[in-house]
A and B are shown apart, each in its own frame.
Chain A
């Protein structure tokens, strides 16, 4: 009977009934290796993430190596709040890792999920996150092929921590590396900046704006694939997470030993995000994103690349924001709104709201 229940399609908007009714909260025993853990895996995780590699119930996933090269990455997610406008820790844990693979030019294939749960976490919360992971994985075109669950004592965790690792396949002929960046390259950003960071800050600090600012958390796999399939000469990609555009651009300028010029007026930032940043004394160029990337493409391909990105929902506000230029030290220069030039530096530590 129960098995039928969780086969309801989450994408249809229906919320699947909780498969474990008898334990309203996660207990230490749910990570203890015994019957409760077995029940959690069999009733909640296995059906939600079902695929041939996982369903085998083996200690690890065994799969054939296809042609091309493999990309492999890992990331851990400790976000508070667990749920936020536009996403949650589950979808974030999928998007973050598949986006890292996409930045290598890889088509993501397989994901591992490691859950560290705090004793007392409502089972319903876990179930919502599991469904969110399932949905995000489907949307990103990856299969969850292995996993692990641990439960820590109450007070020793923060509800839930997630680690995901991912494997993807880089097709023959694709080479996406910082060292490929060269003078003359156009710098593209795949969409408007700052929504994830402001959405989190708004919930965390109880800030209320007239409109709800939703996180930009999303998989960018299809947008990247569309560029590669269209034959755009993509020299390098970098996703814009913590530290925002400024940090990503500086990391790449240093790694590639190049100078970059970015035009502040060309950088897309939504009015509500800009307003929130102004009030708080923050700079949108330093705010975290979870579904945005920089693309360095051959100058001649820049306009076509923007057109292709505009056809994808996740990158429909993509824009050319600058150029890699000849000369001197590796540095990022920002042409300001009033037409003057200054350094766009990497941030030290976190941005803190201003006093007055």
Chain B
């Protein structure tokens, strides 16, 4: 198939692997930010092609994993209301809240629907003017433009039965939180290619400079990741700390400017709590005052929820790259995709789910 099989070529993968072996002289720890990259690494066994000296740690780039428990509980509360059609991406439906998940709400009679885009939720709202349609907007900068587009279109159409429970988060503040943590072991980053396709990569320059870390914007296919690692290791070996772009077929430095403008039109930067990590300043998107009518938290006057995480689950440490999933005492025993104790075991982008699925035995 065009533009996919080419990036999964076994011979080329071996060549990149040999090249990485050749340039590596010391141990290095590199984090891939995006859960999609984590899955590709574990699924294709890319870490098995690397020298023993290279340690890959998995980053926080899993939208489902970092959505705070309180927000899941708010979603469950809204979705349980009889007047509501609650729309969400599929993965969010089985994330455990304090007491239950959204699939359980559906089984108990709630109108919970899986959609592929917030614009689908908007169509549902147009078709059901007598119902309140709520979209659960999670994700990084990658999904924020489509959420913003749905809000923008709803405002243009003067819709009053559509609102969104927003939990969008931003990558650069998360990188900064990891780098400034006393536990940090990460020496180089593979930045998330699709986030940069939207935002560009000018935001990463100051981080690379301040913390002296190479950051390589990287794609998602096996050869992308191998090349991204090669570029990152080369910088580390040469003592450089720059922002480079491996994913040139998709990412421009300036990113997608109309998408950025749309995000700014609808959202403003706000502090956001990350599940398992805690609050990170200026790390999320919330509504601009002129679009607050679409804020489901305000519309349904959801009181502030507080919720306690399971004390045994080490999801926070996994998301910060401090621990690997199989270092968790619950892994594959008390915590499985069927009975998840933490969000990284639920999401198809979660590191724990990737280890469970591909690495269990």
Contact = CB atoms under 8 A, between A and B. Distances in A.
Contacts of A337: 5, 8, 10, 44, 222
A281 interface: yes
B277 interface: no
Contacts of B93: 352
A352 B337 contact: no
A242 interface: no
Contact of A275 (B1, B142, B337): B1
A342 B143 contact: no
Contacts of B303: none
Interface of A: 205, 207, 271, 274-275, 278, 280-281, 329, 331, 336-343, 345, 348-349, 351-356
B275 interface: no
B116 interface: yes
- Name A's interface SS: loop
Contacts of A341: 45
Interface stretch (B234-242, B293-301, B353-361): B353-361
Given A338-B45, A354-B36, 9 more contacts: A207-B116, A338-B10, A338-B13, A338-B222, A342-B43, A352-B348, A353-B116, A356-B36, A356-B140
Q: Which of A205, A278, A329, A353 has the most CB of B within 10 A?
A: A353
Contacts of A348: 336-338
Given A338-B222, A340-B46, A353 B14 contact: no
Interface in B77-99: 89-94
A257 B245 CA distance: 48
A352 B114 contact: yes
Give the 7 A-B residue pairs with the shortest CB-CB distance, closest first: A340-B45, A352-B90, A348-B337, A338-B13, A339-B10, A356-B142, A337-B8
Interface in B319-361: 336-338, 347-349, 356-361
Q: By CB atoms of chain B within 10 A, which of A274, A329, A352 has the most? A: A352
Interface of B: 1, 4-5, 8-10, 13-14, 36, 42-46, 48-49, 63-64, 89-94, 114, 116, 138-140, 142-143, 194, 222, 336-338, 347-349, 356-361
Nearest to A270: B1
17 contacts: A278-B4, A280-B116, A329-B361, A331-B361, A336-B43, A336-B44, A338-B9, A338-B46, A341-B45, A345-B358, A348-B337, A352-B90, A352-B94, A352-B348, A355-B91, A355-B349, A356-B63
Given A343-B357, A343-B359, A274 B1 contact: yes
Nearest to A279: B116
B226 to A, nearest CB: 9
A281 B348 contact: yes
A73 B46 CA distance: 44
Nearest to A355: B89
B139 A356 contact: yes
Given A281-B348, A339-B14, A356-B36, A205 B116 contact: yes
Contacts of B8: 337-338
B86 to A, nearest CB: 16
Contacts of A207: 116
A63 to B, nearest CB: 43
A353 to B, nearest CB: 5
A355 B45 contact: no
A352 B49 CA distance: 29
Nearest to B1: A271
A329 B360 CA distance: 12
B359 A342 contact: yes
Contact of A355 (B14, B42, B139): B139
B220 to A, nearest CB: 10
Given A205-B116, A337-B8, A340-B45, A349 B94 contact: yes
B111 to A, nearest CB: 15
Contacts of A275: 1, 4
A355 B13 contact: no
Q: Which of A281, A348, A349, A356 counts the most chain B CB atoms within 10 A?
A: A356
Contacts of A271: 1
Contacts of B194: 356
B13 A354 contact: no
B33 to A, nearest CB: 13
A336 B63 contact: no
A41 to B, nearest CB: 37
Nearest to B62: A355
Nearest to A329: B361
Nearest to A338: B13
A331 to B, nearest CB: 6
A337 B89 CA distance: 29
Given A336-B45, A355-B63, A356-B63, A343 B361 contact: yes
Nearest to A265: B10
A355 B44 contact: no
Contact of B358 (A278, A343, A353, A354): A343
Contacts of A343: 357-361
Given A343-B357, A345-B360, A348-B338, A354 B348 contact: yes
A348 B93 CA distance: 14
B143 A355 contact: yes
A356 B4 contact: no
A106 B87 CA distance: 46
Contact of A338 (B44, B64, B89, B360): B44
Nearest to B49: A340
A324 B348 CA distance: 29
The residue among A274, A340, A349, A353 with the most chain B CB atoms within 10 A of its own CB is A340
Contacts of B337: 348-349
A274 B5 CA distance: 10
Nearest to A348: B337
